[in-house]
Structure 1
């Protein structure tokens, strides 16, 4: 056989081998080989909060803690306390440090500068450059009625009197908030009890109306009796709806004072609290005349006026500072 024919046969066989289907198994789709689906993030829904139980004492504490007016008053009291400290410190000796540099050369010197005690040390660093470092001590010998800051100046007494007035007003506001919280709490209890009674009355009227309607089938009652029973049932349903609306409004107000949006989360003890024993006449009179916030506010106003008068009188005298 010729070499050309042999090469032709080999090329034909090689072409058939390349065109034949491959015997290698085709990979099948499986859970492991298939592309995994990307997890879809679920939309976040606002889940309702848990149920909150209140008795009268816990409810009053929660209302007092969250009332915006009382929070503002407490912050004002804290600010007044800091103002008292700052005013008191302004009458005490204080030390001030200074540091400076310049381009004017000069000899080293030590100086005493009035009206404060200021010690300066000037050091020449190089040609035309110097550094200055020093400290000054200011001592108010006699200023606004205080001597060297030992005794309390009238300006501090003014701040203290203002704090006394603010504290008394805060107590009055807190008493008003407690009264309002107590009224809302008891109103919610009353509304819930009223709804229970109205529903019990409605059940009774429905039973009576059903009996009258059954008798009407056998002509045992007149048409007027049947109409009167239906009107009575209609009035009972109307009272239940009105009482339920009032109860819902009471619980909305109850939840609003403690910052809860959904009144269904609020649960209260449906019972009236045991009243505290009445104080004796002498004890009540003493509390009204001595411990009452209004009396404390008036005393604070008197103290503030006295301190203002003392400050103005002292300011007529000369003051001295070293």
Structure 2
């Protein structure tokens, strides 16, 4: 039995890599006004890549645990014989109730957009910075003090915008709770998330939440999610502005509290029992045309960079 965490890499990975190179050039050129929009329009039209996964594992598991129906659909699209079992994630219920003024006074902020998570291509923070580039709105990034992509972190910190941009590392529990309580909206513009636990945590504190609809988060937050398209900065901006206009999500807070780790563990135990009673899913490994997943990732990275380098832009800015 395995937990798949099967992202639809065919849908997003090439676009994500391409976006990194586009923003890298944009920042290096000094953020010229006539450069970015054409590039991002081409980004939206970029064709899908290929799925990256372990075919042998998915096809031979007695059960494949998925975080939601969208993930199950992704697995089934490529491996119809896989036996998927929906096992929603849980989250740790807030154990402290902090005054929002603690965070606001400590960092001298108010009416801000909060974005929690590592700064990296997949989480798409540069698109959020572009979305709010010309707005006098403070954006606070909580990066957790861990980075696997220092170049992306550097680009985010170099990105110029009208409002303040604050970068913070790991906070203690009380300060994190205060940040969630103080934020006008929490935005996670990731290319893909399964499901996006920081969004769930933010909603548990009553904070309005924005996240890309690419992934399973809608199945958790329901109508309390303000969704956006990760390849469209205008969509992200509209969602953030909508979220900032809302009050605290008290009903959303109660809704999301049903997703506990206790319920998640019970589902895993039920699935193990099912697997023990029914045996393996396949008697023989299912054949697949996919090569090694790492090869697919490297190829997608190369294709994303090459797509950018060969894209024509205005003569004043040259070519990527």
TM range (shorter): under 0.3
Structure whose residues are more often strand by fraction: 1
Structure whose residues are more often helix by fraction: 1
Give TM-score, length-normalised by structure 1. Answer: 0.22
Give TM-score, length-normalised by structure 2. Answer: 0.22
